[in-house]
Amino acid sequence: MATITFYGAAQEVTGSCHMVESSSFGRVLLDCGMHQGGHNVERMQKEEFEFNPNKIEAVILSHAHLDHCGMLPKLVNQGFCGHICCSSATQGLLGVMLRDSVGIYLSDLERENVRRARKGKKPLLPEYDDEDVVDTLALCKGVEYGKQVEVLNGLRVEFQDAGHILGSAIVSLFIDENNTSKKLVFSGDLGNKNAVLMKDPSIIEEADVVLMEGTYGDRNHRDIEDTVEQLKTILIDTEARGGNILIPAFAVGRTQEILFYLGTLHNEGLLKNWHVALDSPMAIEVTRVYDKWFRSLDQDEIQLATPLATSILEDFIPNLYLSVSVEESIAINRLKKGVIIIAGSGMCTGGRIRHHFKQRIWDSRNTIIFCGYQANGTLGRLIVDGKKHIKMFNDDFAVKAQIETLGGFSAHAGQDQLLDWLKGFKNKPSVVLVHGEPMALDALSTRIWQDLNIRVKVPARGESMVF
């Protein structure tokens, strides 16, 4: 018998972490992600593992978003030394993500300790550091899609394309014990079929248990054509007001797709009065990784839109300004109108987007566009929910900018797409829903019962199930 215990992304969207345990191979983790929202340092000091990292034999990653991999350096710091298995493209992205994450964390910790020193308090010690990131990356092993490999004695894994971001994977675990074999399929984050740079999620036909995400289990996204038209309208209206556009963007996936569509609008002549500033060192580095894999992405869509394109950064938007240094970021403030600023973080929990909010969120001529999911407790969620005053840098700011959401750019599958993927299984596997807020998971479980006659389990954090 094998057991799954849900330590994160259970009736919540972030912090993906699920332990699979068997007498044949011991304990492995599916993902090791951080929770998002709140103060970065406080969150990291409080976020403790509910298991012994020394007792984990391996980690299997679905993809490189921090809510799926961000706790790996802390896991290593506390004694984990097994293999980290992921897709080859995820391995390429992991170093970018973890180095950036530790840099932000240590900078925030330094500032926090300055404040503590002023109050006569002892400094906080880092939960992990750069050396832990180096050690983490040394444990990582990349595997090509469709290749079944043995992770441990009694445990094999195969990755298939999840269509979410570069390298994202649907994980199939083959568990061999007591002369029997069971198959657990973990969807990871399933992609939106509208995503221009990604292929559609692979269809899996057989499983004993399906562990499936339900981020958008209660709704569908707008068609991409309608979303692009909405973006055009926002550009026209904001230009007429003499304003600017701010886009909090996830460095992996969303940024690259936004750049692609801005490039298509440039080809239509709609960006002639706009400057585009990509103000995120990590997003720039990630986009260069995407460029390396560019020809393996969704070629039909790419060739239809830009037949001569060979690089997301160099070919799509001639007036693209890449901001790496702090000085380059500050220089964007000199542009008083006609600038589209794409900056991290996607949920506004940190990064340069908050500094741009400080400069522009109080101006009604400006527009803020949200293109991705905003988790509970994040600044992005507060703004999307209509909060008129927000707290940043120990100051209060009025939210007067126009707020828009472009759901069609989501990197997650909507409700119907989730159901379509689940219909691909020829048998009727047990279904467990994770990575979603309770209302979304309840709505999805109802649809699964109505459409597929399958009752699902929605586990709470810390709950276990035997299969």
Among 38-47, 86-95, 135-144, 433-442, the least confident range: 38-47
Average pLDDT, integer, range 58-75: 96
- Phi-psi bin for 126: left (phi > 0), alpha (psi -120 to 50), beta? beta
Instruction: Kindly report the length of the chain.
Output: 467
The DSSP secondary structure of 372-427, one letter per residue, reads S---TTSHHHHHHTT-SEEEETTEEEE--SEEEE-GGG-SS-BHHHHHHHHTT-SS
Please report, for residues 107, 219, 375, 419, 441, the alpha-carbon distance to residue 216 in angstroms, rounded to integers and kept in the order given: 34, 6, 12, 11, 8
Q: Does residue 55 have a pLDDT over 50?
A: yes
What lies within 8 Å, CB to CB, of 118 at 6+ separation is none
Asked whether 168 and 68 are in contact (CB, 8 A), the reply is no
Span 382-388, mean pLDDT?
94
Determine the longest span between alpha carbons in the chain, in angstroms. Answer: 70
**Paired sense of beta strands 209-213 and 320-322, if any:** unpaired
Query: Would you state the pLDDT for residue 312?
Result: 61
Residues 224-409, CATH architecture? 3-Layer(aba) Sandwich (3.40)
DSSP letter string, 202-240: PP----SEEEEE-TBTT--PPPHHHHHHHHHHHHHHHHH
* Model pLDDT, residue 9: 96
Distance CA(99)–CA(289), nearest Å, equals: 15
CA dihedral of 234, 236, 238, 240, whole degrees rounded to 10 = -160
Q: What is the pLDDT of residue 46?
A: 85
Give the whole-angstrom CA distance, residue 253 versus residue 312: 12
CATH 3.60.15.10 in the chain, residue ranges:
2-219+411-466
Please compute the mean of the pLDDT values over residues 43-71 and round it to a whole number.
Answer: 94
375-413 exposure pattern, b = at least 16 Cβ within 10 A, e = fewer: bebbbbbbbbeeeeebeeeeeebebebbbbbbbbbbbbb
> Is the predicted pLDDT of residue 152 greater than 50, yes or no?
yes
Phi, psi dihedral angles at 343 (to 5 degrees)? -145, 155
Token duo for residue 393 = 């840098």
Asked if the model's pLDDT at residue 53 lies above 60, the reply is yes
Instruction: Name the percent of the chain lying above pLDDT 90.
Output: 70
Q: Peptide bond before 107: cis, by omega within 30 degrees of 0?
A: no
The whole-angstrom separation of Cα 233 and Cα 237 is 6
pLDDT grade for 7, boundaries at 50, 70 and 90: very high
3-state DSSP assignment of residue 150? strand
Determine the 3-state secondary structure of 54 from DSSP.
Answer: helix
Q: Provide the 8-state DSSP code for 138.
A: H
Q: For 435-452, how does the pLDDT look when each residue is reduced to its tens digit (9 = 90+)?
A: 999 999 999 999 999 999
DSSP secondary structure letters along 323-334: --SHHHHHHGGG
Q: Specify the pLDDT at position 303.
A: 45
- What per-residue confidence (pLDDT) applies to 413? 94
Q: Express each pLDDT in 241-250 by its tens digit.
A: 999 999 998 8
Q: Of all residues in the chain, what percent carry a pLDDT higher than 70?
A: 95
Please write the tens of the pLDDT for every residue from 278-307.
Answer: 998 888 888 888 777 655 555 554 444 443
Give the residue carrying structure tokens 């951080």: 34
In tens, the pLDDT along 201-237 reads 999 999 999 999 999 999 998 888 899 999 999 999 9
In the block, residue with structure tokens 């101006």: 363
Model confidence band, residue 36 (pLDDT cutoffs 50, 70, 90): confident
pLDDT in tens, 185-195: 999 999 998 77
The stretch 383-406 carries a mean pLDDT of: 93
More confident residue, 35 or 31: 31
Residues pairing with 317 in the sheet: none
Q: Are 345 and 247 in contact (CB under 8 A)?
A: no
Closest CA to 17 of 54, 55, 49: 49
Q: 3-state DSSP call for residue 450?
A: helix
Does domain 2-219+411-466 fall into CATH 3.30.2130.10? Answer: no
Chain region(s) in the chain for CATH 3.40.50.10890: 224-409
pLDDT score for 311: 58
The whole-number pLDDT of residue 82 equals: 97
The string of DSSP codes covering 280-328 is: -HHHHHHHHHHHHTGGGS-HHHHHHH-TT---HHHHS-TTEEE--SHHH
**Given a cut of 50, is residue 309 above it in pLDDT?**
no
Instruction: Measure Cα distances from 392 to 235, 358, 396 in Å.
Output: 27, 8, 6
What is the model's pLDDT at position 349?
83
